[in-house]
């Protein structure tokens, strides 16, 4: 069975109603990204960071997967599909995709500030005073700027086994995620779907690249139909 590896970014969930990062002057929902998504921000103002992710979590629970997420599930009828997402939402899972690797963490989980292996599901607000069993403050299970990306190795192995790579809705600016393509075999075809496609070193060096200017909910279902009819 052919293996399709799908790398998704914020644009994947834009039509579900979640805003992207860089389409809005580096502001994310009105915030300076570094003040809410870095260890420095957490040390400076925990309440701001907790409130920010509480809002994001509540918003996430109020939106639904779009046609793009749903079409990726259909691909599983004929292909082995591995989704590697930079998104912290759970819309791929809610759509029904079976293999989803979260490079940048998950909004619906929290972890101990003292023990990174203590990770639990969390769908309510997270507040100061919510502690792990050993008595340490819980924090969002999100990879912040400046932190390691623990899932990167697994994502690289998956990408190295790709027969086709689909890239959807990402500006390919944030490394190491943006460099994943380098692990795909040189001859592996790549299809990049984005209304405002970016470029980077890895993309420029592909030998078989097709760029489709369009949105996840519009163009991706067409691409999936073609792949299923092949």
Three-class secondary structure of residue 121 per DSSP: strand
Give 186 or 193: the residue with its C-beta nearer to ligand OAD.
Answer: 193
- Least gap, CB of 129 to ligand OAD (angstroms): 25
* Torsion sign, CA atoms 30, 36, 40, 44: positive
Cβ 22 vs Cβ 101: under 8 Å: no
Contacts 24+ apart (CB under 8 A), 44-53: 46/128, 46/137, 47/128, 49/139, 49/140, 50/125, 50/126, 50/127, 50/128, 50/140, 53/107, 53/126, 53/140, 53/142
Give 105 or 112: the residue with its C-beta nearer to ligand OAD.
Answer: 105
Give 2 or 21: the residue with its C-beta nearer to ligand OAD.
Answer: 21
- Least gap, CB of 156 to ligand OAD (angstroms): 17
- Least gap, CB of 79 to ligand OAD (angstroms): 21
Annotated catalytic residue 92: no
**Candidate list 104, 136, 141, 205, residue with the active-site label:** 104
131 is written with which tokens?
């502690």
Give 81 or 212: the residue with its C-beta nearer to ligand OAD.
Answer: 212
98 is written with which tokens?
């079976």
User: Nearest to ligand OAD by Cβ — which residue?
Assistant: 11
Residue ranges of E strands in 14-76: 27-28, 31-32
Q: Please classify residue 16 by burial: count the beta carbons closer than 10 Å to its beta carbon, then call 0-12 exposed, 13-18 middle and 19+ buried.
A: buried
What length is written for the chain?
A: 230
Which residues sit at the interface with ligand OAD, rule CB under 6 A? 9-11, 14-15, 20-23, 33, 37, 86, 104, 143, 169-171, 173-174, 194-196, 198, 215-216
Active-site residues, by number, are 104
């Amino acid at each position: 069975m052919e293996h399709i590896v799908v790398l998704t970014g914020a644009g994947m969930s834009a039509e579900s109603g979640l805003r992207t990062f860089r389409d809005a002057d580096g502001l994310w929902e009105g915030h300076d990204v570094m003040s809410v998504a870095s260890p420095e921000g957490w040390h400076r103002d925990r309440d701001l960071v907790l409130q920010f992710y509480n809002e994001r979590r509540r918003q996430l629970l109020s939106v639904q997967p779009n046609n793009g997420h749903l079409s990726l599930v259909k691909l599983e009828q004929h292909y082995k599909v591995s989704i590697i997402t930079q998104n912290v939402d759970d819309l791929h899972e809610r759509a029904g995709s079976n293999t989803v690797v979260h490079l940048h963490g998950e909004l619906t989980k929290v972890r101990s500030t003292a023990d990174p292996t203590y990770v639990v599901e969390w769908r309510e607000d997270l507040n100061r005073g919510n502690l792990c069993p050993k008595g340490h403050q819980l924090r969002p299970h999100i990879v912040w700027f400046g932190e390691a990306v623990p899932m990167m190795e697994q994502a690289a192995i998956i990408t190295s086994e790709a027969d086709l790579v689909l890239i959807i809705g990402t500006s390919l600016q944030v490394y190491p995620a943006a460099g994943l393509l380098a692990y795909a075999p040189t001859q592996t075809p790549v299809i990049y779907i984005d209304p405002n496609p970016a470029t980077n070193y890895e993309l420029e060096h592909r030998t078989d690249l097709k760029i489709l200017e369009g949105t996840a909910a519009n163009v991706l279902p067409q691409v999936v139909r073609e792949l299923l009819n092949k």
